[in-house]
Structure 1
């Protein structure tokens, strides 16, 4: 559904999403390596950040019912211990190349991992960054961000994550800042296609494996789409499941809430759809995982395999497991993207420390 046509959605972010939504051609053809080359020419310090991300491990574990194998792409191996380091790097490269400035004044919204990655990277680059967080974001998060030199604002109470998005869109206009707008960032898709996805392809080929499915929990959709594009170039029949929290499904028609769910994931509310995924709706399956089920999977993966994974990563493992456990032929192989090891708060919810 076009963001501009959604009734009840906050106007500033609805207009920004509609105006900057990339089409399918842009999402398939943008060259991140070329964008990166231009950005490095303007801001050579970006090269030091590039060296801290990528080449994360791909680790096999049994599927939930043991009929196949799920290979976990463990993104905690990146700087800031999260897949969001890749996203932050791609957004900063695009900002530098797009503004033709080594130090653009930036603004973005986040509820956690991306904010920390952007703040740490911006500090290295000497960039002026303003982060808008949801009203329910803990004060400890805001304090940590400010220590890096970032400015921080909170959205209005009761507006959820979409409220932070809307306030960032408004402040970008008021303060004349470059709005990163992760939900419309074709550069993140290109980056994941050329780095994360390429790594998975190389790692699977080295292991002599051929995947039948990919699953990843969705915040913006950049990760799942970019990795899917890379895998399908080699294995066209690879199925893809975009995993959303049951508490906030894709295209959620209800207003956003602060209901606990897998961190960093979820529908936007008011019927808005992730612009990066909307052109590919017919090519992907959409799965839903309740927080309690994801927490149980976190505990299981840690107890049985000694792996600490985020709730969103556990949700991806569950969805990937369904693809191989439900197949007619046993011993199938699937991929699950694990964003991080999980936050302290997530493990408290599981009843354990990280």
Structure 2
């Protein structure tokens, strides 16, 4: 017997992964949420009577998918998506993807993500991840509803409760606490030292003044990398190469100095897997590799389906010859925490 709500959520996941319009994703995810609140038996009763579309957020397409699922059939809409969703990965890329234990950069609806923390976590677990580092934005990035110290403290309690619930269900999966903290103009980090010290993993990224002169940007990034609380330098050039936000050129900086600082302080350079970023460019990825840097292959996911973008980063890492032992998220959760703690 099929689970119609699971089928609706799977459709939403595949639409997100394929970067389809947001309203399409919301149609299926919203319908699943609405139908999940019905009393036992009412879903089947309404489907048989043809009254599912009387419910808010349930349209003809989602109702048809539910009816097909209840009949024990894979919904046609889902079958078509599954047929076109395959990723043709070469052997080396597939092997690297399989070696990753988790994702160190993700966002929830606490900042500018589109889904609750639990939904993101369950999607990550469904992909076979052992952990997901939750890295919502810091307060200075107001456009992304960055978390104040008070909201971040509240989030830590929510994560602890969710992890306790996973443990109670016998799941080994865990959410690791984190933040994508803004690297400010002087290289300082946009959150208190006390809170940063409580987090499992800290990603630091430049989101402002991206056109600074190379020397200014270099000092900013080198200063941030020397901060004991920063673990991973996120999307280091800030470039956008496609997508709804348009394109944006790379920030200019002395890559040799920045990557040398990362090696000196044992920090990782992120290989960002978002299709509009794919940051750093391959030429800089090779420079970081030759410098001796560690790396973290991350999705920077803002929705559950985007968590399946890790293959983008793996393909780039393979193309540039990045070995597995340089990638921090091949470590189990305990090993990742130990590495992060070692430079605090």
The TM-score with structure 1 as length reference comes to: 0.33
Identify the structure with the greater strand proportion: 1
Higher RCO (CA-CA < 8 Å; seq separation 6+): 1
Larger radius of gyration: 2
